[in-house]
Amino acid sequence: MRTAIYPGSFDPLHNGHLDVIERGARLCDKIIIAVARNTSKDGLFSFEERVELIKEATWHVPGVEVDCFEGLLVDFANAQRADAIIRGLRAVSDFEYEFQMALMNRQLSDRLETIFLMPSQELIFLSSRMVKEIAQFGGQIEPFVPPPVAGALNRKLQQNPQP
Ligand code: PNS
């Protein structure tokens, strides 16, 4: 049984993430989407909201589990008996950070491989930060995020409208 961890901030999940999850699910028996609790980034969604939204957006993908983790990714991955870490790679600009992280994770735990998957090219420009910015300034986010995320973003911004 091949298990992979797909870690990230997912604030919120967008269609590029979903594309990577669908590709990963074709390679592994189980893919655990792991929301990192200890990122330094300010979050729009709470960790519980992110987990819930990911569950709603991935119900159709076989072998998916969603969880949160705190501390080192390799510790979480080893506790889950995972074989690999999946990361999406969008552009050359991602490469340096991803390369550094993959090699550091290998130093920490040699048994875990990092697998890079590229999303479909029409999704390659997407980022959670841009999706939030578009939503904050009243742009259409529906083409970029799964329907549960679009609904949640619109509700969140109605509660906290921009000045
Ligand atoms: O979606 P992101 O923000 O690019 O995800 C980054 C993430 C959460 C995968 C990374 O920050 C991480 O693994 N954090 C857990 C702490 C850790 O293991 N750090 C060492 C990585 S070399």
Q: What is the CATH number of the domain that holds 99?
A: 3.40.50.620
pLDDT of residue 160: 73
Dist. CA 63–CA 82, nearest whole Å: 13
Give me the residues of the chain with pLDDT under 70, please. Answer: 39-41, 161-163
Ligand 1 pocket test, candidate residues 40, 94, 101, 105, most atoms within 8 A of CB: 101
One-letter amino acid for residue 153 of the chain:
L
Nearest partner of 154 among 54, 66, 44, 75, judged by Cα: 44
Q: How many domains does the chain have?
A: 1
Q: 138: CA distance to ligand 1 center in Å?
A: 30
Predicted structure pTM score: 0.95
pLDDT of residue 124: 92
Which residues span the domain enclosing 10?
A: 3-159
Q: Which two tokens stand for residue 37?
A: 């609790």
Ligand 1 pocket test, candidate residues 72, 104, 116, most atoms within 8 A of CB: 72
Name 43's Cβ contacts closer than 8 Å, sequence gap at least 6: 9, 11, 50
Dist. CA 45–CA 116, nearest whole Å: 26
Q: Mind listing the pLDDT tens digit for each residue in 95-142? A: 999 999 999 999 999 999 999 999 999 999 999 999 999 999 999 999
Which residue has the least CA distance to atom 16 on ligand 1?
Answer: 72
Query: 89-102 burial string, b = 16+ CB within 10 Å, else e?
Result: bbeeebeeebeeeb
Q: Is 41 a catalytic residue?
A: yes
pLDDT of residue 92: 83
Nearest partner of 81 among 112, 115, 108, judged by Cα: 112
Strand order in the sheet with 30-36: 64-69, 30-36, 3-8, 84-88, 113-117
pLDDT of residue 39: 64
pLDDT of residue 153: 96
